[in-house]
């Protein structure tokens, strides 16, 4: 699908437009990098004021560059770039990387320049990475279009970044540490090629076994979600999202509105797409390394093999935090270990071979651990000791790891004395971290991805039977944008969501008629456009048992609201059946500018506000998505039945979420909708109150 | 208070008993380290089979070693050590470090050997570090009694560890990175000198500005707590506790019992003692570095100064996670920055000077930031760039940092190209981390400690007026160990905790008398030693309004329990006033083997089980401790008044916690006690149900 991106990574000929002979210029650095890292294709510096740079013939213009030529790397003042792009188009260049800044990031003027550029490349069918990026690296063929110092080792991680600096920082971190990459892509302003395009490209790239991404925002949320859902079934995608901004204390009209912020939409999308979200760049690298090098585990039971108890204790804590448990070592395995390890060694898990443990002991113990059917992961930990050579231990670990199909994740706790041991492990396909606490997230993410791969997920959205025409007519008839129960109820009803019996009454006569129809006891609620929280104005009377009560309550509510009469116009009253107590939950939807409808589920009552125990997913939801939302909350325990409280009808909540999802897809004009409370019973459920906002 | 520990760190003469001439032996390594790191005092190898090792005269026995001699480092087979200690005693040695293992860690036999050693050292007044440790390092005088390769730089961090391997791993990590330590102490089995002794010693050591500790268990919890409370007022203590073991699904009799595990006791003690608890060794080092080098901030407003947006976004996220907010840059500061920074630079916080920012721009911007009264922290971030020398930027940062009394915490995102820049920063007193995400915990911990220092904390425990004699008599009269409401109520009452009016009735006549005294409506509850959860056997009837109801309910409860009659013996019934609804909370105490009484506070209802929103502190509590417990829970929002729910009597909860604390101190035989629910009203509160376990 992203075939034409190949010209960025495997071009026939590369021109550097703006290449300088001055070694203090970035463009000179790019030329150097193109020469120094093994790229054997043609490189053409373009600069009217030089005839030769770094031993290469320099051309006055792109027009003069000979064939073959697919790719141009451009580093020139921003305002010159449209003309250069025209020349590139005429010359038949297929792809351009624009390193230069000075575009939308500087404001209006820059944005206009970008639009000009976009028209030109669209016109010629050129693909562009950038502007305002640091370029690309292809570790396979040595094509390095950046000015970054150094280039990582070759490996299976394809990395893309919306921050050029993060690219630079990572290279500086990993360059001598052996961590292997296939591609490194700085995306810049994403005028043309964006994160989703690159993910599609890397998905099809055979060298790339894992995709790692640093993002600050996603261009087209729904498209990103769909692409990643497909890709993550083939290879894992690890992602870090910067800018988890605080939404602050905005005035909001519903819990869904308050809680469903931008970051929630991102995290929900990442979950639905099977992405592995991490919080730090270091975790991004360690988890990517693990998923690149390790086979998937069959379970979550790990055995630690160590030469020291303290680091093993730290590792155990963090493994447990990440859902990995310590395996029971089989009696047979233990008796084998007992034969060889020193007497004082601990052969329970963590297996502590003590400080003097050497390469043979590591090898022997790992061999037996990897053969033990009760163990899914092996975790060798080495703290450098005066009398043991870490490189020999590393060789032993790599040798055992190579023989088996179980993941081995190692920790060499140190820096100074373990450089070569580290490279031996990575060469041998064993991920290695430098502190025991970092093993947890690696093992946990690997296990999580194994479950994602195993779970047979369908992305088929089942169309439920709803009365879309009726809903459409209702929405067409509305004026204004905020609506309470009166106008939201019929919409829910049209979409098959169970609503408490009742209706709107403008007069006492209406109310009596309604009450007789739905039967006493009833509830009377004041309806006014100005009242957002009925309970705060005491605008509800419960348990009305007969007509006399009803008339009295009607007057009572009118009296209560007299003090607000200046500000509040009473439209009438809702007359509804008094519902039985059940489990209160909240179900809602808020539209996100990037991703569309974001569904929310959470516990009702004060719990939602105090504990924020809520879950989000992007519409449209599959049944599994809806079910996983429920499972993700702590409140799920209550739904399943807890102590003397019986289980409630979980399917009724799932059904409601699916219908709300369909409603949000069918009517993009619904900005926000919330059912609170949605009362769930041992059989069935009822929407007791609801509201919505249209755009 | 730990004066005699000085012989470990500043001895007149050091003997190495068991020193070997074989360079592959650890004892040889120790001798080498004693020679190689600047220690100028006398060193005496002791070994009957050599006359000279590494150019030093070797003595056949400790008896032959000449004066001066204070310290002996012993590395010999365990069983030889008692005799050697006798010799040391006779020779007048003041302190011994026993490196050898083979003691309690191998079982009974080793434990017996330890006891033998303990008698000897007590007899001679010798202090011992170890056995089974890796020794000590004093960075000030170069005294290194370990066999670890390398020695950290000199600085203000005093580090102690219950794991020798963690010492080794840390040295390997920091040895060339410039992180400075005063002392490094491996504690081993702590036969004599333990973690609290060393903390006391480091507290009085002028070179040590910060104490960092790795612990797996604390020897005497109450003593540790008292010492740390004093020390943390003088200098910060940062701690990592390994082995946060899962308590598993034990059968437990109360929420307090279920939730107050060993780890909760530790974390509570750490909070009360003002310790800064971290979860990873890397955080331990980074936070210690920050607290060593930085002045305390006046507030939590940080300004980021960066050459790249992405890393600044990551830093902002993690600063926010740790309670640090981004400052508003003053208009005056902004106009100064605008004059000098490039036009495209962002002068809002984070201040992004863009990729080409050089040392002058860093210096200029930092100068103005540090002068801005609205800013408490400056956070310079540098991602290495092709054309900027990180060392020059580091010099600029260090220069600005040296002029001002505000904390400056820096990040050099990289490794390969920033080694010397890193050393320049540390030399200049500026903490530096290698990823932007690591700034958060450093700044957050510094701010947290500044609050701890500023808060005028009294450790005075106020003795409340209670009837201790009455309580004592009650406890003496009890047989068995598990008690429900009947026997727990009078104990609470004696300690001044308000209990719902009522009493125990064995006959209907008793019940009627009681009910008339306390007035209807009343509650009837079945009492039986075999019933732990009354609600599960439906053993409670509420809202009994008159004598007829009471008699009927009495029979009804008896009938309900017939089905359990084989297993359950009904002792009688509690007759109690029907309490008004209020805010339900749980207050409890569980005794921890290390720390004594651990008080718990949490929300009542299902919330405590689902959300585990509870807080713990060690008895005895100060009023501030009790208040902070409440504040620590999310439920505190509900107590303060939330939406239409009014505030409740927080003082009544604090008072209850203080009384329970006093009860737990006065009667160590109380193993566990819980009030659930403790119903809190807008004025006052009532214990509605309670239970306890005695040992």
At residue B684, does pLDDT exceed 60? yes
**Partners of A687 in the beta sheet?**
A499, A678
For residue B242, the chain A residues in CB contact (below 8 A) are: 310, 313-314, 317
Is residue B16 pLDDT above 70, yes or no?
Answer: yes
More confident residue, A189 or B1: A189
What is the spatial distance between Cα A261 and Cα A275, in angstroms, rounded to a whole number? 19
Please indicate whether, in this complex, the C-beta atoms of A173 and B24 are within 8 angstroms of each other. Answer: no
Q: Which helix (H) or strand (E) holds A523?
A: strand A522-527
Q: Which pLDDT does position B565 carry in this prediction?
A: 64
Instruction: Kindly state whether A278 is in contact with chain B, defined as any CB-CB distance less than 8 angstroms.
Output: no
SS3 assignment for B430-478? CCEECCHHHHHHHHHHHHHHHHHHHCCCCCCCCCCCCCHHHHHHHHHHC
Sheet holding A572-577, edge to edge: A502-505, A572-577, A522-527, A540-544
Written as six digits, the tokens of A584 are 């209160």
- Interface size, chain A vs chain B, as Cβ–Cβ contacts under 8 Å: 236
Rounded-to-integer distance, Cα B34 and Cα B148, Å:
11
Instruction: Using CB atoms within 10 Å of the CB of residue A230, give its burial: 0 to 12 exposed, 13 to 18 middle, 19+ buried.
Output: middle
* C-beta separation of A135 from A186 below 8 A: yes
Average pLDDT in chain B: 93
DSSP letter, residue A126: -
Per-residue pLDDT at B678: 96
User: Would you say residue B162 has pLDDT above 80?
Assistant: yes
Distances (CA, A) of A263 to A218, B540, B651: 11, 47, 39
Distance CA A255, CA A611 (A): 12
Find the closest chain A residue to B418 by CA distance: A172
Give CA A218 to chain center in angstroms: 10
**Which member of B148, B173, B638 has the closest CB to residue A606?**
B638
**C-beta atoms of B386 and A29 within 8 A:** yes
Residue B247 has pLDDT above 50, yes or no: no
Using the predicted structure, report yes or no on whether residue A286 has a pLDDT greater than 50.
yes
| ipTM of the prediction | 0.93
Number of residues that this document lists for chain A: 695
**φ, ψ of residue B479 in degrees (nearest 5):** -120, 150
Nearest to B641 by CA among B678, B677, B682, B604: B682
Dist. CA B64–CA A11, nearest whole Å: 79
Collapsing DSSP to helix, strand or coil, B592 comes out as strand
**Least trusted range by pLDDT, from A260-264, A323-327, A651-655, B45-49:** A260-264
Residue B620 phi/psi, 5-degree rounding, is -80, 145
Residues B11-39 have a mean pLDDT of 95
pLDDT for res B251: 39
Q: What is the pLDDT of residue B533?
A: 66
* 105-164 of B, contacting A, C-beta below 8 A: 105-106, 147-150, 161-164
8 Å CB contact of B279 and A162: no
The per-residue pLDDT for range A564-582, each reduced to its tens digit, is 666 677 889 999 999 999 9
Q: Kindly report the number of other CB atoms within 10 A of residue B454's CB atom.
A: 10
H/E stretch holding A208: none
> Average pLDDT in the A44-57 region?
95
CA A383, CA A307: separation in Å to the nearest integer? Answer: 7
* Residue B617 token pair: 């502190």
On the question of pLDDT at A231 being above 80, the answer is yes
Task: State how far residue A279 is from chain B, nearest Cα, in angstroms.
Answer: 8
Q: What are the percentages of helix, strand and coil residues in chain A, rounded to 5?
A: 40, 20, 35
CB proximity under 8 Å: A 208-227 to B: 214, 216
Q: What is the pLDDT of residue B652?
A: 97
CATH H superfamily, domain A501-578: ATP-grasp fold, A domain (3.30.1490.20)
Residue A624 in contact with partner chain B when CB distance is under 8 A? no
- The mean per-residue pLDDT over the stretch A219-236 comes to 95
Beta carbons of A8 and A98 less than 8 angstroms apart: no
* Inter-chain residue contact A26 with B246, CB threshold 8 Å: no
Nearest residue on chain B to A105, alpha-carbon basis? B344
pLDDT surpasses 80 at A279? yes
Chain-chain contact of B164 with A316 (C-beta, under 8 angstroms) = no
- Taking CA atoms, B341 is separated from A617, B36, B363, B387, in Å, by 43, 49, 11, 17
pLDDT at B535: 66
Percent of chain B with pLDDT over 90: 82
A588, A589, A586, A590: which is closest to A604 by C-alpha? A586
Annotation: CATH topology of A295-454: Rossmann fold (3.40.50)
Residue A691 has pLDDT above 70, yes or no: yes
Mean pLDDT on A518-528: 92
Chain A CB within 8 Å of residue B173 CB: yes
Q: Which of the two residues, A482 and A258, has the higher pLDDT score?
A: A482
Strand spans (E) along A120-179: 127-129, 136-138, 143-144, 153-161
Tell me if chain B has a CB within 8 Å of the CB of A79. Answer: no
Give CA torsion, residues B567, B568, B569, B570, to 10 deg.
-160
pLDDT, position A258: 66
- Using the Cβ of A103 and the Cβ atoms of chain B, whether some distance falls under 8 Å is answered with no
Check: CB of residue B7 under 8 Å from CB of residue B71: yes
This prediction's pTM: 0.94
Question: Is A308's CB within 8 Å of B165's CB?
Answer: yes
What's the topology of domain B583-694? D-amino Acid Aminotransferase; Chain A, domain 1 (3.30.470)
Q: What DSSP character marks residue A573?
A: E
pLDDT (tens digit, 9 = 90+) per residue, A238-266? 999 998 655 333 334 466 666 667 889 99
Residues in chain B: 695
Task: Using pLDDT thresholds of 50, 70 and 90, give the confidence band for residue B536.
Answer: low
The three-class DSSP label of residue A45 is strand
Contact present, B205 and B182 (Cβ < 8 Å): yes
Task: Among A236-245, A512-521, B589-598, B645-654, name the one with the lowest average pLDDT.
Answer: A236-245
> Where is pLDDT greater, at B68 or A252?
B68
Which of B:15-54 have CB within 8 Å of A? 24, 26, 29
B53: three-class secondary structure by DSSP: strand
Decide if B292 contacts B157 (C-beta within 8 A): yes
CA distances from A60 to A80, A525, B570 (A): 15, 80, 103
- Position B620 pLDDT exceeds 70: yes
Residue B252: pLDDT above 60?
no
Residue of A nearest to B176 (CA): A416
- Specify the 3-state DSSP secondary structure of B60: coil
Determine the Cα–Cα distance for residues A97 and A146; give it in Å rounded to an integer: 10
DSSP character string of B527-590: E-TT-S-GGGGT-EEEEE-SHHHHHHHHHHHHHHGGGGTTT----EEEEEE-PPP-EEEEEEEE
Encode pLDDT of A444-460 as tens digits.
999 999 999 998 777 78
**Tell me: the pLDDT tens digits for A614-654?**
999 999 999 999 999 999 998 898 899 876 678 999 999 99
* pLDDT confidence tier of residue B246, bands split at 50, 70 and 90: low
pLDDT digits (tens, 9 = 90+) for A161-214: 999 999 999 999 999 899 999 999 999 999 999 999 999 999 999 999 999 999
Q: Which member of A147, A172, A437 has the closest CB to residue B414?
A: A172
Q: Which residues contact B585 (CB under 8 A, 6 or more apart)?
A: B601, B602, B603, B604, B635, B639, B653, B677, B678, B679, B680
What region does B327 belong to: left with phi over 0, alpha with psi -120 to 50, or beta? beta
* Percentage of the residues of chain B whose pLDDT score is greater than 70: 96
What per-residue confidence (pLDDT) applies to A646? 83
Give the 3-state DSSP-derived string for B172-229, with helices as H, strands as E and coil as C: HHHCCCCCEEEEEEECCCCCCCCHHHHHHHHHHCCCCCEEEEEECCCCCHHHHHHHHH
Check for a shared fold between B3-208 and B295-454.
Answer: yes
The stretch B350-357 carries a mean pLDDT of 91
B455 and chain A: CB distance < 8 Å anywhere? no
Phi/psi of residue A429, nearest 5 degrees: 80, 20
3-state secondary structure A230-293: HHHHHCCEEEEECCCCCCCCCCCCCHHHHHCCHHHHHHHHHHHCCCEEECCHHHHHHHHHHHHH
- Which token pair is B395? 């010099």
CATH code given to domain A3-208: 3.40.50.720
pLDDT at B257 over 70: no
Where are the domains positioned within chain B? 3-208, 295-454, 501-578, 583-694
Q: Return the ∠ at Cα B674 (arms to B669 and B679), rounded to 5°.
A: 145
- Taking residues B479-488, report their average pLDDT: 92
CA dist B197 → A492, B220, B378 (Å):
69, 11, 37
Residues 6+ apart with CB under 8 A from A248: none
Contact across the interface for A282 and B161, Cβ inside 8 Å: no
| Cβ burial, residue A252 (10 Å; 0-12/13-18/19+) | middle
CA nearest to A192, candidates A61, A2, A43: A2
């Amino acid at each position: 699908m992203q075939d034409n991106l190949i010209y960025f990574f495997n071009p026939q000929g590369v021109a550097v437009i703006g290449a300088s002979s001055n070694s203090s210029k970035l463009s000179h650095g790019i030329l150097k990098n193109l020469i120094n890292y093994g790229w054997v294709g043609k490189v053409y510096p373009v600069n009217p004021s030089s005839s030769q740079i770094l031993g290469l013939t320099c051309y006055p213009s792109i027009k003069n560059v000979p064939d073959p030529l697919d790719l141009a790397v451009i580093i020139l003042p921003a305002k010159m770039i449209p003309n250069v792009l025209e020349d590139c188009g005429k010359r038949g260049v297929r792809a351009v990387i624009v390193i230069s800044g000075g575009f939308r990031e500087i404001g209006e003027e820059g944005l206009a320049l970008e639009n000009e550029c976009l028209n030109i490349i669209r016109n010629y069918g050129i693909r562009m990475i950038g502007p305002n990026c640091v370029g690309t690296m292809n570790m396979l063929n040595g094509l390095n279009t950046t000015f970054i110092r150094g280039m990582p080792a070759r490996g299976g991680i394809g990395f893309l970044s919306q921050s050029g600096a993060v690219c630079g920082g990572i290279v500086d971190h990993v360059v001598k540490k052996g961590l292997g990459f296939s591609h490194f892509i700085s995306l810049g302003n994403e005028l043309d090629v964006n994160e989703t395009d690159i993910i599609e490209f890397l998905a099809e790239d055979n060298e790339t076994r894992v995709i790692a991404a640093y993002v600050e925002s996603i261009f087209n949320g729904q498209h990103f979600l769909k692409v990643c859902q497909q890709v993550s079934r083939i290879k894992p995608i690890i992602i870090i999202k910067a800018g988890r901004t605080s939404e602050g204390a905005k005035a909001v009209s519903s819990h869904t509105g308050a809680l469903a912020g931008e970051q929630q939409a991102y995290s929900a999308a990442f979950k639905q797409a099977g992405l592995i979200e991490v919080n730090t760049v270091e975790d991004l690298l360690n988890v990517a390394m693990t998923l690149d090098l390790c086979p998937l585990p069959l379970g979550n039971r790990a055995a630690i093999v160590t030469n020291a108890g303290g680091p093993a204790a730290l590792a155990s804590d963090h493994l447990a935090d990440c859902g990995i448990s310590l395996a029971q070592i089989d009696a047979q395995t233990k008796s084998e270990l007992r034969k060889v390890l020193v007497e004082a060694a601990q052969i329970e898990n963590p297996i502590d071979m003590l400080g003097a443990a050497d390469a043979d002991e590591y090898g022997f113990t790992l061999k037996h651990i990897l053969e033990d059917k009760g163990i899914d992961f092996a975790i060798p930990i080495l703290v450098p000791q005066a009398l043991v050579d870490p490189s020999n231990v590393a060789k032993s670990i790599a040798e055992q790891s190579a023989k088996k199909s179980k993941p081995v994740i190692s920790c060499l706790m140190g820096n100074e004395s373990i450089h070569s041991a580290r490279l031996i492990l990575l060469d041998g396909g064993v991920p290695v971290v430098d502190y025991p606490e970092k093993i947890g997230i690696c093992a946990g993410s690997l296990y999580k991805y194994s479950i994602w791969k195993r779970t047979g997920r369908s992305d088929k959205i089942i169309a439920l039977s709803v009365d879309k025409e009726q809903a459409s007519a209702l929405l067409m008839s509305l004026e204004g944008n905020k609506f309470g129960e009166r106008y939201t109820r019929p919409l829910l009803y049209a979409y098959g969501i169970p609503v408490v019996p009742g209706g709107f009454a403008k007069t006492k006569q209406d109310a009596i008629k309604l009450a007789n129809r739905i039967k006493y006891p009833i509830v009377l609620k004041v309806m006014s456009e100005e009242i957002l929280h009925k309970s705060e104005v005491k605008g509800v009377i419960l348990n009305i048992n007969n007509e006399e009560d009803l008339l009295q309550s009607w007057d009572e509510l009118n009296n209560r609201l007299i003090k607000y009469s200046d500000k509040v116009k009473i439209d009438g009253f809702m007359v509804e059946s008094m519902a039985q107590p059940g489990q209160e939950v909240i179900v809602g939807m808020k539209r996100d500018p990037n991703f569309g409808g974001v569904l929310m589920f959470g516990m009702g009552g004060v719990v939602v506000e105090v504990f924020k125990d809520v879950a989000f997913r992007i519409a449209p939801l599959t049944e599994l998505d809806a079910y996983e939302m429920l499972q993700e909350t702590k409140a799920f325990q209550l739904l399943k039945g807890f102590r003397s409280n019986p289980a409630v009808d979980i399917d009724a909540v799932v059904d409601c979420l699916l219908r709300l999802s369909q409603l949000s897809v069918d009517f993009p004009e619904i900005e926000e909708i919330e059912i609170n409370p949605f009362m769930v019973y041992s059989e069935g459920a009822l929407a007791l109150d609801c509201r919505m906002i249209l755009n």
